[in-house]
Copies of this chain bind each other. A is one copy, B any other.
Amino acid sequence: MKIVALAYNYKGYGHPPIAFLKAGLIPGGNAIVIPRGKVWAEAELGFIVSESLGVGAYLVANDVTYLIKGQDCHLAQSKARDTFCPIKVVWTPQRPNEVVLRTRINRKIRQEGNTKNRILDDKESLSFITQFMKLNPGDIVLTGTPPHRGKTRIKDGDVVTVEAVGLGSATNVVRQEPN
């Protein structure tokens, strides 16, 4: 099972969408373990690749990201750390065109966006990826995060929730790793 995630897939970034490999799947409820430094939460709508290689179940994901000075933030140390991908799968047949995404840190809304502002929708995200990479049933696609302007930084002890309004949410506590 692999996780392919998009970045710059919302209007306003001024950059075409890109794809990177993500890892670190955990359910809501588990701790996100972070290193010292700048770590961000990012709410995203995603889906599981279905058995017929289409758009399967929706999910809401937290694309946790560690910013390392002087490095691209889509590398493994930034994006693919253990525990850096909390998800909540949404077992719904709904395929709403507009889903409000929110990140709350300690209950306070820190990021809000709407999937209608994506550049590539679910199917287009799938097509974009499969142009260069085979996907298998059970693989996960994340369709990017709305602009958050750096307001979603998380620290030791924070409680962070990513929510796809009306669909579901994942809530995780943040723990800093011991030195």
A residues apposed to B, CB below 8 Å: 1-2, 4, 18-21, 23-29, 35, 48, 50-53, 56-57, 59, 71-72, 74-77, 80-82, 87-89, 91-93, 129, 132-134, 137-138
User: What is the CA–CA distance of A166 and B140 in the complex, to the nearest angstrom?
Assistant: 27
| Residue from the set A23, A35, A132, A133 with the largest chain B CB neighbour count within 10 Å | A132
Residues of B within 8 A of A80 (CB): 21, 132-133
User: What is the CA–CA distance of A82 and B21 in the complex, to the nearest angstrom?
Assistant: 13
- A27–B1 CB distance below 8 A: no
- A133–B82 CB distance below 8 A: yes
Chain B min CB distance to A53 (Å): 8
- B72–A74 CB distance below 8 A: yes
Residues of B within 8 A of A56 (CB): 57, 89, 91
- B25–A51 CB distance below 8 A: yes
Residues of B within 8 A of A28 (CB): 51-52
> If the complex has contacts A51-B88, A138-B138, are A74 and B75 also in contact, measured as CB distance less than 8 A?
yes
User: What is the CA–CA distance of A148 and B127 in the complex, to the nearest angstrom?
Assistant: 33
- A138–B75 CB distance below 8 A: no
- A91–B91 CB distance below 8 A: yes
User: What is the CA–CA distance of A138 and B48 in the complex, to the nearest angstrom?
Assistant: 9
Residues of B within 8 A of A72 (CB): 72, 74
Chain B min CB distance to A44 (Å): 14
Residues of B within 8 A of A27 (CB): 50-53, 137
Residues of B within 8 A of A26 (CB): 51
User: What is the CA–CA distance of A74 and B57 in the complex, to the nearest angstrom?
Assistant: 29
